[in-house]
Amino acid sequence: MSRQVFAYILHKEGTPDDTALELITAAKKIDPDASVVAVVTGSGDNLNTVCNEMTASYSEVWKVDHADLAYPNAELVRKALVGILPKDAVVLVPHEHFGLDVSPGLSVKLDAPYLPDVADFEGLEGDTLKVIRQEFGGMVSTHVQADISGGAVITPRPGSFQPDESKSSGGQVTDKSGEVGDLTSTRRYLEIVEAEMGEVDITKSDVLVSVGRGIEDQDNLEMIEELAEAMGADVSCSRPIVDAKWLEKSRQVGTSGQTVKPKVYVALGISGSFQHMGGLKGAPFIVAVNKNPKAPIFQVADVGVVADILEFVPELAEGIAEEK
């Protein structure tokens, strides 16, 4: 019997997440012969819509319909997964805020190794799976391996695997709702508090001048604003700037901030973590300025300058002003 790999499908309001098809590619990289099973938890019509859509891409879709799973409270989803999965299950959950919430505990309850934030798979040798991860914010990579004969919990990095668009499966939905058992938890979901709208909607900007940790001091933000003004651009930023409360949250580009799609993106003093780059869509033209020549941002930028932004930015602003 071929190895079963289970892919947990994230979805919202009846629409599967982009990662839903990426996990098929990830599963096939683990084992090309694997039979990949989509696991979809939720409630009601939205759940059925997602399950039906998944049958186009997965030969088997396991549905768990439960009123308490209408919102994916990770504690409850974990219990449901432990209830329905076989003991030696290899489970894939995207490495984002839900995956981070559910997966470590799931690996303990399944007594299986946990391989977090996997950027790529080297494949199986016998039962030993070798994967590629990154450490220190992407500055170095590692090969990590584990024996997955007794199962594994793996969180592939969103955006790192091509979505499998073949839609060739014509699969069927199996209702597993009866097998979930007790779904109680002392963590209770209350509500989603929506982000406050800022003065500028950076998701609509054509040109963004984006600033990161390299700015060093709040007072230095002025030069970024001057550059943006000279270019006719809006100012955005990476996470440390919002953590320091130097700019409002609505200016933050990244998976936990805004998803932007400008034509031109100027990244100043931003190292380029995958969480930051995850908020950048639509293949913009990227200019990166960073004093560290090994900053990961230079791998994804179109044009790079190795320089200290504190010295470079005022000169660039001046250069642009002269051109006008």
Partner 1 sequence: MEILVCVKRVPDASENEIEVNSKGTDIERDDLVYSVNEWDNYAVEEAIQIRDKVGGTVTVITVGDEEAEEVLRREMAMGADKGILISDEAFEGADGRGIAAILKAEIEKGNYDLILTGAQADDGAGQVGGMLAAMLDVPYASLVNFLEIIDDKKIKAGREIAGGNQEMNEIELPCVLSIQTGINEPRYVGIRGIRKVASLDIPVRTAGDLGLEASAVAPKVNRVDYFVPEPGEGAEMLEGSTEEIIEKLVEILKAKGGIK
Q: Which 274-313 positions form the footprint of partner 1 (CB under 8 A)?
A: 285-288, 292, 294, 298-307, 311-312
In the complex, least distance from residue 223 CB atom to partner 1, rounded to whole angstroms: 14
Q: How far is CA 37 from CA 34, 82, 157, 172, in A?
A: 9, 15, 19, 10
C-alpha–C-alpha distance, residues 128 and 126, integer Å:
6
186, 199, 219, 283: which one binds partner 1 (CB under 8 A):
186
Amino acid (one-letter) located at 239: R
Decide: 252 and 234 in contact? Cβ < 8 Å.
no
33, 199, 219, 245: which one binds partner 1 (CB under 8 A):
245
Amino acid (one-letter) located at 123: G
Give the x-and-dash track for 132-171 against partner 1 (CB under 8 A): -xxxxx-xxxxxxxxx------------------------
Q: How far is CA 9 from the centre of its chain?
A: 13
In the complex, least distance from residue 143 CB atom to partner 1, rounded to whole angstroms: 4
Largest CA distance in the chain: 71
In the complex, least distance from residue 78 CB atom to partner 1, rounded to whole angstroms: 8
Q: Which 65-124 positions form the footprint of partner 1 (CB under 8 A)?
A: 73-75, 78, 96-98, 100-109, 112-117
In the complex, least distance from residue 44 CB atom to partner 1, rounded to whole angstroms: 20
In the complex, least distance from residue 63 CB atom to partner 1, rounded to whole angstroms: 24
Give the x-and-dash track for 11-50 against partner 1 (CB under 8 A): ----------------------------------------
The three-state secondary structure class of 246 is coil
Amino acid (one-letter) located at 16: P
Decide: 317 and 295 in contact? Cβ < 8 Å.
no
Give the x-and-dash track for 200-229 against partner 1 (CB under 8 A): ------xx-----x----------------
C-alpha–C-alpha distance, residues 147 and 293, integer Å:
37
